[in-house]
Structure 1
């Protein structure tokens, strides 16, 4: 197909204006009626093996809404000519929308985006009333006609939910990760509320810009499955409370499309966007804010918002860095039972054995009495990242030295192994590779395949070698594993005895602190897809060819325990640049806030960064300093 070709004796191809599932979408001139139309090839299922009649589901769906002002008008359906793209069973003749999708346009004001959103929500309400879910609402599938009216463009992914006939072919549902509702990203059947979530993500993107280039594919899908949406609350302004309602994790808690249209229209008209849900939003323990009566979200000077989800039964919040709505919510999207209160033993429910890592008390899994047979014990509840707990064993007498026992929650499925896997009660134990200075094992709780969480247990010698080497260390690890199994035999991981502070980094994303440009200090890593840790509390980049690595993670420690190095201010945060004993690593610690740990000592929450590779130490430290400068500039106010 090329410009000048003619279809049906009247449509003359002019130029390609986009790409659909069936191929290029063309602007064409109607020789008979005058004016332009859009010609979109329809894709025949299974490579064209399905009869022409079966390919008409999309146009028949669109024809129902021919008179709706905010659905692109279907003008005609043509059988595809012999030289049409492979698999095209027909062509849709559509109303031509100048400029194509809104993903190509400039950012809108919040009021303009709200007006577009209200019109799209009105169109979605009509679809939902007819039993159809659009499934792929995004800026690229939205246009505006010459009068400025918003138009929903593409129905190629639509799903019929009131009977067994689907508009698309049976199989995996089509969606775009950056805009998909979490229930869709997890493979559940689309529902009208899924469109409402996607519309909120779309409206946000219309104000702030398209989100499709912000991360690699696996990170985008990871975020989609957990309902992670990066939100710039300063730029969306009065849209914030409406988007919060529409982005709730529980589909049943979102407004329907008609209500979303009303709320968005109120913002467009400059009215308060109040609705039936008026509970104030806050971090744990903060109480209702000044906007609680209107369902609004309190302002923050840097656009950062609280995040409170999961096992403590707190509401999911709109975050200036991200909205991460109920990471551990029920997979089917229904409202599950509230988790145990702080300090209570967990009950295994739909959130799984680990539950919300933000409120999980991992130290409660380590039996200090069991470990005390190996020496004096001290539980360090405030060391390392938020995903771990550590017990320090100090031996007595000659030949006994310090051993650190750490328990860490790791994301992902249980590891595959060709070795022996045994059980302690219902806890599966997968041994790690033997080593003289460390014994590690992966503990797999019941339901780990579904929850996608396992526990990594390590016993590591610190300082002088341990008498008995790896065998002695594995005796320590075995005792710790028995303690974990005993606690989990009574239920889920217990909750923390006190709620996390609202200003804690536990509510933030380490990955979200790193802009793509920040990695320019290590050019070998630009474009590399990071390995994302639990809850985005760490992100790591590595290039096998050059041997260069970089990592950004959260870290807790006593300030006087940090390595020697040079302290200095970066964007108002005291920062330590410290070459490691490893000649190929330079590390930075950005001190975020100090607090009193559970043992009453003073601890600091930090961002820990390192750059590693076969370079001179000065070059590595220059790189990590530049990276720390960029990351510290994106930190929320410490309060």
Structure 2
């Protein structure tokens, strides 16, 4: 899957982002013009019968509408036969999940809890049990509306005849009711999970458990304040002793008070963490030290077979802009239970990390010359040119990436590193790597044949040689830093996404300036039209100026620039604006540049007029070199 492709009537605009196997995309409904989220549904097999069943269930849920539930719109199929993929289409909610370290005032937790209780009451009335209520499945919109999301674990009760038996149940041990561990969740199980969620939102820890995974009532923290009575009721071991969702809604509304008394919620960037999988035999004990993971048990009457048999559905993990929900003044954020230091920092500061530390020329012993090239392309890249008789035969490059690992059939784990392998396509072979647990960061190793007839070994063997060295570096710890640092006037210290403002981007039909696809280090920013084939890509470049027989020179805001018609295919135009000259570590002179590429103008369009206009605006926004 690639940005710009269509899945049914939905055009992919951004992704993939984390979601168990990375299969979550942002998209636009090309018929209705609304933003949606697509999540891949993992079926037991790719049969038409399985998809028809999924489609029937998705459309049944799509008829359910509630202001505190993220709406499921549809299910679609892409491709044919064994290569087909199946996707759930959901409402795109701006805001953020609560699966971040927070500590809320009890009244604010009650305000959120009341909204989720309202959603549960409506679902329970329709015979639907969510089965995985937890902070990571609650989204808070900028106008403070709480919405329940991710129905991958949901199922029907009351003996619905349309549901297939014997699917798995997904649960999160910190928030699951005792009966859910036995594979027998019911409506009251959702009430328990909501109580555990609210307890965590206030105290920063899950309720302490005892024998039979029952909550130890004597250990409930006094921090819960006015929530003490209702949480005690919601967390009872006996499902019959708990209030219904409707009763919990009434009690929580009384505690919450009027919404206008709540403070403004500041925004802070964060990402929902990856949720792992437990088999029945790995269910956690009741005494402390619980890993924060999703357990898989046997259940009956599954609502959506979005994950089947050995591969269970995982929580949607879409990166959001997450609310920082302040409680009492001076409170420090408490880490989420069981969360250890993540591997997200394996790259470190983008402006100091050295991508060339991931390549070594001596591993390419099949070629006469292996030459390290530090400044080809953007700042996230390093190349080794493999040569025979002074002619480049293969280019091997490492690129640091802002995305998580892509989907692939072949994955290998080497130490703390996961490697995704794909078969060579044409004259290119790619490997993707990431440290286990890293979110939103990976790197790519690519071997490209410049002269296929002269290649000395299969391209993927060359890519694997580079990959083995990179894996060894990653297993030793953080990637080494650049030495010396990039100078203060380098474009590496700039944000490519700020060089084109909303007014400038209005010149491109259908472009939404607020929805760019941001690359690593914010050195690459891409905007796609939702109404046409137009695409604007603004990135940084370094090294030699590109050569093209059709190129013409010009000046934009007192910067040297070159304009290259159809440089990236028909209907495209590339404009490069020089920011500064430099001399590299190898004493070779080069330039740092802003490269703007416009695509999708069509053969009869005049893309270079518009591209030059846009590049002129970017040039005017550059600081002095």
Q: For the superposition of Structure 1 and Structure 2, which TM-score range results when normalised by the shorter chain?
A: 0.3 to 0.5
Which structure has the higher relative contact order (CA within 8 Å, separation 6+)? 2
